[in-house]
A and B are shown apart, each in its own frame.
Chain A
Amino acid sequence: MTTLLENARLIDPEADSDAPGWLLISDGVIAGIGTGSPEGIEARTRIDCNGQALAPGIIDIGVKTCEPGERHKESIRTAGLAAAAGGVTTMVTRPDTTPALDTPEVLAFVRRRGAEVARVRMLPMAALTKGRAGAEMTEIGFLMDAGAVAFTDCDHVVRNPKVLARAMTYARSLGALIIAHPQDPDLSAGAAVTSGKFASLRGLPAVSPMAERMGLERDLALVEMTRARYHADQITAAASLPALARAKQAGLDVTAGVSIHHLTLNEFDVGDYRTFFKVKPPLRPEDDRMAMVEAVHDGQIDIISSMHTPQDEESKRLPFEVAASGAVALETLLPAAMRLYHAGQLTLPQLFRAMALNPARRLGLPSGRLAQGAPADLVLFDPDAPFVLDRSRLRSKSKNTPFDGMRMEGRVSLTVVAGETVYDRSAP
């Protein structure tokens, strides 16, 4: 079973190249790759890419599938459909479910559901502490055996440094990756937006971006102490960057991520109390947004994720300060990222370095690359195709996107996982 994708624009984040070429899939892996036109390559199926971009499929760290517990908001099946349509070939899912994903038994259930109903690959993360309560560490060893790829309490910050230090020390011995949400929990308590002129005029409870830096500095000090493998899920403030750079220079095993919303939206987008723009941490001033784009460009921030967080209408149609946080983004991650490409701020190989190559490396996955022998997890897309986003057409059960009604560019044509087509825009 061989498929040849020809006349493609190959986006290779590893080689940092963007060139016309072809790619051959055989038995679920990339069997060959080359520039120009394929001479003398035989394949059972040939697909003319019409010059569209062919890149490694997106590996999205931090997807909330709401299963178990909140299936009225999303399910593993619907999240998988959204992922496939968005060019996401691997969902790395969050343990902030109900109950929290903190035992090997629940993890095994979620993995099985993923294998059965998710159209794309699904790798679950597990909670770092039981019930995400920040008191006792979970069975990190058993959870790893059951397939947990990382450990995180998501937006619950482990307040007690002693608990976190112990969990880090224990995780270190197993080589487990810890993902944290850097934020000082007391300074940011109750905040709905970033403090400043805008927040004050709107009369909303607000937090300084300094709370993020404080959380990060604490975590990095503990990493220095324990030598744990650490990833900060979302760095969104310029004030956090020096600490991150220092830790990396010191040779600590530290990486950082940022959500697509913090790269493409700013605090003013909240406008007249629009709750679909309420995310965690809150949207930042434009200077911070620009600094984050720059940091992705320089490789200081390694990973871009969707932070896909489905919320139903009832959770969002409330006064801003009591409305739920989060936005769905599996289907809008790629077109939103194209804004940065079209603005000339990031190249396609740079974007796919942050959306595919780096997440794969961080989790030790063989995918995320356009290389012979790598899994044939691919996305074919037209970076220039314009459209107006209509939230009612999203595949997620929840439609809480901040991009509703906006003009976007970048449409997925084909998504391939292990050589199999999981999404084809031209198919009925």
Chain B
Amino acid sequence: MTFSKRHLLGIEPLSPPEITTLLDLADRYAERERTTDKHATALAGMTQINMFFENSTRTQASFEIAGKRLGADVMNMAMQTSSVKKGETLIDTALTLNAMHPDLLVVRHPHSGAVNLLAEKVNCAVLNAGDGRHEHPTQALLDALTIRRRKGRLHRLNIAICGDIAHSRVARSNILLLGKMENRVKLIGPPTLMPAGVADWGVEVYDDMARGLEGADVVMMLRLQRERMDGGFIPSEREYYHRYGLDAEKLACAKEDAIVMHPGPMNRGVEIDGTIADDINRSVIQEQVEMGVAVRMAAMDLLAQNLAAERAAHA
């Protein structure tokens, strides 16, 4: 087996063979998900706890369904209303949960690095469901799986990532993954939404949408993260839409068969035109959601296997 990690904290520590192993397994789960026999037993008898310190509907539902289809006992903790509000620290919360012997912890947190910190304190497998502006590995993996299925490969593609790169953990994980798999990655957005030092990431940076989209096989749009902004990054949403919103005219600069992706939830009319988002010939946004469940099943399956092997070695 070529997937040797104990946790899935980010794309950064993964090797290309590990990414391929995970995607191959996810592909099989994706096929199975389309049949009537959806249920597997990889996580039978295991306990999965979803800890979301930040509101999420889509990702949490996706992890919950993935866990249930693999036979795990899934519990959702609404951290927004829990003892965290009463002043309990992240580590105390982690230790409390750890004492209940979970096998898989799925964590989303508003602070970068918080999931790494938590992973140091527990003895189960931890999956990062998004930490601050740092990483969102399962999103990058589901994007990769979607691309691979649509384009038939995951290397030597021309991929444009557009919009609010600075505040996006999705962008970071995608840049890392697509770079590891040897693709040409182009970032497009206003300079105020580009992270500092981005030119050293092995990507091309554009502030002009038309030039950046030239020859793109894949166009990834990002959500404008209004909740993470402390003001003054863009003059207005209408100017942003005019210059960086994906409409038919701008999309025409990409390759004719380019696919359009978006991690959701979308701000229609801000970063993407509604008709493009709904165009079944170009948009793969619904397929991304579908692949999300498959990728999360694969990730939890692999981590559970490693966990079981580790426990057997210590028994």
Contact = CB atoms under 8 A, between A and B. Distances in A.
A208 to B, nearest CB: 7
Interface stretch (B191-199, B238-246, B260-268, B281-289): B191-199
A204 B113 contact: yes
Contact of B112 (A195, A204, A317, A318): A204
Interface in A288-331: 314, 317-322
A203 interface: yes
B112 A200 contact: no
Contacts of B172: 200-201, 203
Interface string A190-218: 10000111111111101010000000000
B34 to A, nearest CB: 35
B135 A195 contact: no
Nearest to A200: B195
B112 to A, nearest CB: 4
A206 B195 CA distance: 10
A400 to B, nearest CB: 15
Nearest to A194: B196
Given A203-B132, A204-B113, A272-B116, A319 B90 contact: yes
A198 B197 contact: yes
A224 to B, nearest CB: 32
Given A195-B196, A196-B196, A273-B116, A319 B111 contact: yes
Contact of B133 (A195, A203, A273): A203
A320 B112 contact: yes
Contacts of B154: none
Contacts of B197: 195-200
A203 B200 CA distance: 15
B132 A321 contact: yes
B180 to A, nearest CB: 14
Given A319-B111, A319-B114, A199 B131 contact: no
Contacts of B195: 199-200
Interface string B187-211: 0000000011110110000000000
Contacts of B196: 195-197, 199-200, 206, 208
Interface string A177-200: 000000000000010000111111
Contact of B89 (A190, A196, A273, A318): A318
A321 B111 contact: yes
A318 B110 CA distance: 12
Nearest to A313: B91
Contacts of B117: 273, 317-319
A273 B112 contact: yes
Nearest to A206: B196
Contacts of B135: 203
B111 A202 contact: no
Contacts of A273: 112-113, 116-117
Find the residue from B112, B116, B133 having the highest chain A CB count within 10 A: B112
B129 to A, nearest CB: 15
B7 interface: no
B109 interface: yes
Contacts of B116: 272-273
A317 B89 CA distance: 9
Nearest to A208: B196
A324 to B, nearest CB: 13
Contact of A200 (B12, B113, B114, B198): B198
B134 interface: yes
Contacts of A272: 113, 116
B160 to A, nearest CB: 19
19 contacts: A190-B230, A196-B196, A196-B197, A197-B200, A199-B195, A199-B196, A200-B196, A201-B12, A201-B201, A203-B131, A204-B112, A206-B196, A272-B116, A273-B112, A273-B116, A317-B89, A319-B113, A320-B113, A321-B111
Interface of A: 190, 195-204, 206, 208, 272-273, 314, 317-322
